[in-house]
């Protein structure tokens, strides 16, 4: 027998019910009782689906109103001073949402204590959860941090599950991972010093859970899959030794990577079980068996919790049978990680063809896979087990042979690639000379990052087109009219390099994915990104290629409206890959190369149509960075190469731009330089140009457009402010290599503030020209 359990289920609901309820609550359209009822209903439904699927031990505590790390901060009383109301009352749901979203202050918006604050409160920082596209709220610790049990949610939900007759396994983030994820505020100190203060809280929680009749608790410690400093490794031993005496059986869960040098440490912790991710790190399987103490449960994560493909059950079963011979009843089976990162239910997909649908599994189906794997050990001859294995075999066979996946022309093209294909013919110095000759731009040339406001009118037009209420000709004309408007405004403002505004694009990845062969789309494949925000990544199904030009008509239309340069606008291969569900039967770097070739063709078509400047966005370049330092270089090499492959087919005089909107370049600057874009535009305004230090220190040779204003807020920056930033930039980068632009695209802004900000930006550039 192996026990089937789950590490966590997506909380948003198959129809994004949680998102809708939260947003209604924030707008004041739903009261707290209504919101709580939606949460309760979702939890009940999700436990039931998992149980029906055959999961024996159900996760509780995976539900969160906004984010599970935030729930823990409330539980431990890690509530920054600014969110604490006067008086003794504990935190409320209002406190929680204020910590997540900030408050607007006295004038409307939500406020954490009945509008008593006159000052707006800054939300906690949002950061990527390991290498996923989920974002958590960063706990804020102070040197004098205290911890006190301040939030009852976990205990209430355990009671709720038990009342429904379920066997609950509460899930908590482990003490070391929780501290690791937080940020020290104020006077500097070592977060590890807080461990001894935090541990008693875990003791209290475990005692309460034990009193509720809980048998097992799952303690998530994903940082065991990271490179850990020695003092953190020591702290694991110290901390778990202190927790050893607490009641309850403890399962430490690791995921997102292999334990590697932490394997001995993890295996030896004085707990009752260990979960490992065998999807990401299958190679750790045999070693772990030898290191695991004889009393411990081993939970094998065999079903990928982070992708949408059906599990190869027979392959997984092979490992499981082997483990079962060694471990007997001490063997558990689970998804690799929480199913938070996969969409909810494939059964909802009514527009996928039968073949493709047979290849996919969402959270509900993944639970079924876990359960059938467990049953395959205890009842190998049961008809449903045999049927599931036969179906899995059929899926693997049909995928392996499907012409939909395998495109010989694409494969041959990738196989024939030579090093010079990802190398511009001339070095930057030669290229920039011929570009300057042809483009004739002033010093401090001004441009924008691509998108202009996506107004309600644009979204309505797209919706009407999709629903057939607008003909293609009418839709094209609506978009043309948006382009005309964008061009008129830019000419009036006196910008130097124009963009068409991206009105026709729903999303910078989906827009291109829809036009490539090899991609598929779901209707309900939503995954939580943060809070109420969900994304619906496109699915890379097979070899990728571009049947025809994707952007040339729009860009040449825009170029035809102006005598200034119109910048072509594309999404790069790495970003396309990072924001899609990738294939599992082909390495990521090969998928990146296929994307690179498809986009390279588009770059060449734009050049042939007379476009002289092409921007290839790589907003997600950093997102692919592996969790382990030792793997960084390998990733960075193929990622930079994929970009160059996209960009290297053009003549010297064609200028390639790239754009990245984040503010950490120090550790990857060499690879940014290796991309060899003629111009890179980056987000810098909020870092006060300090970000340019990395470029200066590296003597980054190509041109740079450091963003001079933050596009995340409607605030209109003054000219002086931008002049100051540009002067700072000019101290770090030779002026003949500087561009002037906002931090990122303007699609989330409205027109009035956009125009006002750009007027000032152009004026700032003019002033700098006069100064240099």
* Alpha carbon distance 647, 572 (integer Å): 9
Could you list the residues that contact ligand GLN (CB under 6 A)? 449-451, 502, 508, 569, 617, 619, 659, 661, 744-745, 747
* Alpha carbon distance 772, 770 (integer Å): 6
Q: How far is CA 37 from the centre of its chain?
A: 29
* Alpha carbon distance 63, 83 (integer Å): 23
Q: CB 140 → ligand GLN: shortest distance, Å?
A: 27
Closest C-alpha to 66, from 7, 5, 110: 110
Closest C-alpha to 679, from 663, 668, 695, 662: 695
Known binding residue 367? Answer is no
| Residue nearer to ligand GLN on the CB measure, 450 or 705 | 450
Q: CB 749 → ligand GLN: shortest distance, Å?
A: 11
Q: How far is CA 281 from the centre of its chain?
A: 20
Which single residue brings its beta carbon nearest to Zn ion? Answer: 661
Which of ligand GLN, Zn ion, none is residue 450 near (CB under 5 to 8 Å by kind)?
ligand GLN
Q: Which residues in 382-401 contact Zn ion (CB under 5 A)?
A: none
Q: CB 480 → ligand GLN: shortest distance, Å?
A: 19
Q: At what angle do helices 383-401 and 313-327 cross, to 10 degrees?
A: 130
* Alpha carbon distance 221, 351 (integer Å): 39
Known binding residue 661? Answer is yes
Which of ligand GLN, Zn ion, none is residue 569 near (CB under 5 to 8 Å by kind)?
ligand GLN
Which of ligand GLN, Zn ion, none is residue 375 near (CB under 5 to 8 Å by kind)?
none
Q: Catalytic: which of 406, 480, 485, 712?
A: 712
| Count of chain residues binding Zn ion (CB under 5 A) | 2
Q: Is 712 a catalytic residue?
A: yes
**DSSP letter string over 677-741?**
-SEEEE--GGGTTTTHHHHHHHT--SEEEEB-S-SSS-----HHHHHHHHHHHHHHS-GGGB-BB
- Tokens 């689906």 found at: 49
Binding status of residue 55 toward Zn ion by CB under 5 A: no
Which of Zn ion, ligand GLN, none is residue 671 near (CB under 5 to 8 Å by kind)?
none
- Measured at the CA of 503, the angle between CA 497 and CA 507, to 5 degrees, comes to 105
Known binding residue 502? Answer is yes
Known binding residue 715? Answer is no
* Alpha carbon distance 564, 448 (integer Å): 14
Known binding residue 40? Answer is no
Q: x/- binding map, residues 636-665, to Zn ion, per CB under 5 A?
A: -------------------------x----
Known binding residue 57? Answer is no
Which of Zn ion, ligand GLN, none is residue 258 near (CB under 5 to 8 Å by kind)?
none
Known binding residue 492? Answer is no
Q: CB 549 → ligand GLN: shortest distance, Å?
A: 18
Q: At what angle do helices 153-163 and 68-75 cross, to 10 degrees?
A: 110
Q: CB 622 → ligand GLN: shortest distance, Å?
A: 12
Q: What are phi and psi of 525, to 5 degrees?
A: -80, 50
For residues 331 and 313, is the Cβ–Cβ distance under 8 A?
Answer: no
Known binding residue 666? Answer is no
For residues 535-568, one letter each, b for 16 or more C-beta atoms within 10 angstroms of the residue's C-beta and e for the rest, the string is: bbbbbbbbbbbbeebbbbebbbbbbebeebbbbb
Which single residue brings its beta carbon nearest to ligand GLN? Answer: 745
Which of Zn ion, ligand GLN, none is residue 747 near (CB under 5 to 8 Å by kind)?
ligand GLN
Helices (H), 402-441: 408-415, 428-439
Binding status of residue 744 toward Zn ion by CB under 5 A: yes
Annotated binding site, which residues?
16-19, 128, 133, 449-451, 502, 533-534, 579, 617, 623, 659, 661, 683, 744
Residues that bind Zn ion (CB under 5 A): 661, 744
Annotated binding site for Zn(2+), which residues?
659, 661, 683, 744
Annotated binding site for L-methionine, which residues?
449-451, 502, 617
Active-site annotation, residues: 712
Annotated binding site for 5-methyltetrahydropteroyltri-L-glutamate, which residues?
16-19, 128, 133, 533-534, 579, 623
Annotated binding site for L-homocysteine, which residues?
449-451, 502, 617
């Amino acid at each position: 027998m192996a026990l089937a359990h789950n590490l966590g289920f997506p909380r948003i609901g198959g129809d994004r019910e949680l998102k809708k309820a939260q947003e209604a609550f924030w707008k004041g359209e739903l009261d707290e009782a209504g919101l709580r009822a939606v949460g309760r209903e979702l939890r009940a439904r999700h436990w039931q689906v998992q149980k029906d699927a055959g999961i024996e031990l159900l996760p509780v505590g995976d539900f969160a109103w906004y984010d599970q790390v935030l729930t823990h901060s409330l539980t431990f009383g890690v509530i920054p001073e600014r969110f604490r109301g006067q008086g003794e009352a504990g935190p409320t749901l209002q406190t929680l949402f204020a910590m997540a979203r900030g408050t607007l202050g006295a004038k409307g918006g939500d406020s954490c204590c009945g509008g008593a604050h006159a000052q707006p409160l800054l939300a906690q920082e949002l950061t990527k959860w390991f290498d996923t596209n989920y974002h958590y709220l960063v706990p804020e610790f102070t040197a004098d941090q205290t911890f006190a049990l301040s939030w009852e949610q976990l205990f209430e939900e355990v009671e709720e599950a038990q009342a429904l007759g379920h066997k609950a396994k509460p899930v908590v983030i482990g003490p070391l991972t929780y501290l690791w994820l937080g940020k020290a505020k104020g006077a500097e100190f070592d977060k590890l010093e807080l461990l001894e203060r935090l541990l008693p809280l875990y003791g209290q929680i475990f005692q309460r859970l034990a009193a509720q009749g809980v048998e097992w608790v799952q303690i998530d410690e994903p940082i065991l899959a990271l490179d850990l400093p020695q003092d953190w490794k020591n702290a694991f031993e110290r901390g778990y030794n202190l927790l050893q005496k607490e009641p309850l059986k403890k399962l430490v869960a690791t995921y997102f990577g292999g334990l590697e040098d932490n394997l001995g440490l993890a295996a030896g912790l004085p707990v009752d079980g260990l979960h490992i991710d065998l999807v990401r790190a299958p190679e750790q399987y045999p070693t772990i068996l030898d290191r695991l103490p004889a009393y411990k449960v081993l939970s094998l994560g065999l079903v990928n919790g982070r992708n949408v493909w059906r599990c190869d059950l027979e392959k997984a079963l092979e490992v499981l049978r082997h483990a079962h011979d060694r471990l007997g009843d001490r063997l558990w089976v689970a998804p690799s990680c929480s199913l938070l990162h996969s969409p909810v239910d494939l059964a909802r997909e009514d527009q996928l063809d039968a073949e493709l649908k047979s290849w996919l599994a969402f959270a509900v189906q993944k639970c079924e896979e876990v359960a059938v794997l467990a049953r395959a050990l205890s009842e190998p001859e049961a008809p449903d087990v045999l049927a599931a294995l036969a179906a899995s075999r059929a899926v693997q066979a049909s995928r392996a042979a499907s012409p939909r996946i395998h495109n010989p022309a694409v494969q041959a093209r990738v196989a024939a690639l030579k090093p010079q294909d990802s190398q511009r013919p001339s070095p930057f110095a030669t290229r920039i000379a011929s570009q300057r000759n042809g483009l004739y731009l002033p010093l401090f040339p001004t441009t924008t990052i691509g998108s202009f406001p996506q107004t309600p009118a644009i979204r309505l037009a797209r919706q009407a087109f999709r629903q057939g209420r607008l003909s293609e000709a009418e839709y094209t004309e609506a978009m043309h009219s948006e382009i005309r408007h964008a061009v008129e405004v830019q000419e009036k403002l006196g910008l130097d390099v124009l963009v068409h505004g991206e009105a026709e694009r729903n999303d910078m990845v989906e827009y291109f994915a829809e036009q490539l062969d090899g991609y598929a789309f779901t209707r309900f494949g939503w995954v939580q990104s943060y809070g109420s925000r969900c994304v619906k990544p496109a699915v890379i199904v097979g070899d990728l290629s571009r049947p025809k030009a994707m952007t040339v008509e729009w860009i040449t239309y825009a170029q035809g409206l102006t005598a200034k340069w119109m910048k072509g606008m594309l999404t790069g291969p790495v970003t396309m890959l990072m924001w899609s569900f990738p294939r599992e039967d082909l390495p990521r770097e090969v998928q990146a190369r296929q994307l690179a070739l498809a986009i390279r063709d588009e770059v060449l078509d734009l050049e042939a149509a007379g476009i002289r400047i092409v921007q290839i966005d790589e907003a997600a370049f950093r997102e692919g960075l592996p969790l382990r330092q030792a793997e960084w270089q390998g990733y960075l090499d193929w990622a930079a190469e994929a970009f160059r492959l996209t960009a290297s087919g053009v003549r010297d005089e064609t200028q390639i731009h790239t754009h990245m909107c984040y503010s950490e370049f120090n550790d990857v600057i060499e690879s940014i330089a290796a991309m060899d874009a003629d111009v890179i535009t980056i987000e810098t305004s909020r870092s006060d140009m300090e970000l340019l230090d990395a470029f200066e220190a590296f003597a980054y040779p190509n041109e740079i457009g450091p963003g001079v204003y933050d596009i995340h807020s409607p605030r209109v920056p003054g000219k002086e402010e931008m002049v100051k930033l540009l002067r700072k930039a000019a101290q770090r980068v030779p002026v003949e290599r500087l561009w002037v632009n906002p931090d990122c695209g303007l699609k989330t802004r409205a027109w009035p503030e956009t125009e006002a900000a750009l007027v000032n930006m152009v004026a700032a550039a003019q002033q700098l020209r006069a100064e240099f």
